[in-house]
Amino acid sequence: MTSVAEHDHPDAATRALAAGDPMLPRPYRVVRTRRDTRDTVTLELEPVDGVTMKFSAGQFTMLHAFGVGEVPISISGDPTRDGLLEHTIRDVGSVSGALVAAEPGTILGVRGPFGTGWDVSDGIGGDVVFITGGIGLAPLRPAILELLANREKYNRVALLYGARTPEDILFGDELRKWEDRLGIVVEVTVDSGPHSWRGRVGLVTQLIPRIAFDPANTVALVCGPEVMMRACATALRDRGVPASSIRLSMERNMKCGVGLCGHCQLRELFICVDGPVLTYERLAPLMSRWEL
């Protein structure tokens, strides 16, 4: 009979207690709000205790609307600057609805930053393709800004953006600025448009054949509804981009954000810890299965 403790539990427990409670939200004050579309708002938050959050592009926080609840929201601000914490939120339920309606001065709870980032700098020296749909542009924006801060280190850069209708296009002014001043090819399409729409109509995947990039030397960052990401990943693979060079941002139900509650599991992956950014190489066998 073995008799020596394998797990020195008092130490692990003591260490855990000293590290602090990841489930305790930090209070942040809403400084500014900006309405982006009819159902989307960008909040700018400052920490009440003054300690700013350092984050990597692609990470998310758990945002708590006191009295309503908590949801995971990607950070949509500039990771290269020490400014206000930005979140672009779409009203799809009671919690996000409360966040979208938050007035300046409101105190929200913030936990994070959590998860893996885009690591766009892996594309230095080569081409970078950003492909996004709907609100997916918000989680990609920090990676775009990170790249733009060092534009000269990258070759060809393209942003392909699909929205439902022209009214749902996010950050329109910024898109124009990026294209005009910063040498990024920006191609926008909508699922359908009104008579007055002068632009392109079609699915964002249809834009992929239209841009020039070297498949062997490209990092592709894709963010949007899962159906869209699958279709884009397939189209990129058809162009010869290796699955390991294609990165997607996945979403699942989350209650903790730190790998404890178990909700976000996609087979062996915890989307909050192993993701949300994962390579298509890792995801392909999992994404094609029903109800996994």
Partner 1 sequence: MQTIEEYLPEHPFFAGLDQPTLELLAGCATNVHFNVNEVLFHEGDQADTFYIVRKGLIAIQVQSPSAGGVVVDTAEAGGVVGWSWLVPPYRWMFDARASEPTSAVAFDGACLRGKCESDPVVGYALMKRVAQVMFDRLEAARLRLIDMYGSSS
Partner 2 sequence: MAGDTRVLDLAGLQALIDALGLRGYTVIGPTVRDGAIVNAPISSLDDLPRGIGDEQDAAHYRLRDRGDEALFGFAAGAQSAKPVLFPSDELLWRSRRTGDVTVIDRETEPPPGPPYALIGVRSCDLRAIQMHDQILLERTGADVHYAARRAESFVVAVACTDPAGTCFCVSMDTGPSPRGGYDLALTELYADGEHRFVVAVGTDRGAEVLAEVAAATATADDVAAAERVITEASGRMGRALQTDGLKYLLYANVESPHWDEVASRCLACTNCTLVCPTCFCTSVEDVTDLTGVNAERHRVWDSCFSEEFSYIHGGSVRESTRSRYRQWITHKLAAWEDQFGSFGCVGCGRCITWCPAGIDITVEAAALRGTPSKTSQRS
168-207 residues near partner 1, rule: CB under 8 A: 168, 191-195, 197-203, 205-206
Q: Give the up-direction half-sphere exposure of residue 44: CA atoms within 13 A in the CB hemisphere.
A: 11
Amino acid identity of residue 37, one-letter, is T
58 is written with which tokens? 């692609």
Q: Is 1 in the site for partner 2 (CB under 8 A)?
A: yes
98 is written with which tokens? 């409360």
Q: Is 43 in the site for partner 1 (CB under 8 A)?
A: no
Q: Among positive and negative, which fits the CA dihedral 249, 253, 255, 260?
A: negative
Q: Shortest distance, CB of residue 21 to partner 2, whole angstroms? A: 5
Site mask for partner 1 (CB under 8 A), range 12-41, x = bound: ---------------------------x--
Q: Is 268 in the site for partner 2 (CB under 8 A)?
A: yes
Site mask for partner 2 (CB under 8 A), range 10-39, x = bound: x-xxxxxx-xxxxxxx-x------------
165 is written with which tokens? 């209708």
By beta-carbon proximity to partner 2, the closer residue of 83 and 262 is: 262
By beta-carbon proximity to partner 1, the closer residue of 25 and 134 is: 134
Comparing CA positions, the residue from 247, 141, 176 lying closest to residue 188 is 176
The Cα 205–Cα 191 span in angstroms is: 11
The Cα 151–Cα 271 span in angstroms is: 30
The single residue among 225, 255, 258, 261 that binds partner 1, judged by CB under 8 A, is 225
The Cα 164–Cα 194 span in angstroms is: 11
192-251 residues near partner 2, rule: CB under 8 A: 251
- CA R_g for the chain: 20
Sheet arrangement for strand 218-223: 200-201, 185-190, 157-163, 127-133, 218-223, 246-249, 277-279
CA 249, 228, 148 angle in degrees (round to 5)? 55
Q: Shortest distance, CB of residue 231 to partner 1, whole angstroms? A: 6
By beta-carbon proximity to partner 2, the closer residue of 24 and 212 is: 24
By beta-carbon proximity to partner 2, the closer residue of 5 and 212 is: 5
Residues at the site binding partner 1, with contacts judged by CB under 8 A: 39, 92, 133-135, 162-164, 168, 191-195, 197-203, 205-206, 210, 224-225, 227-228, 231
The site for partner 2 (CB under 8 A) is made up of: 1-7, 9-10, 12-17, 19-25, 27, 66-67, 69-70, 92, 105-107, 109, 251-253, 255-263, 265, 267-268, 270, 273, 289-292
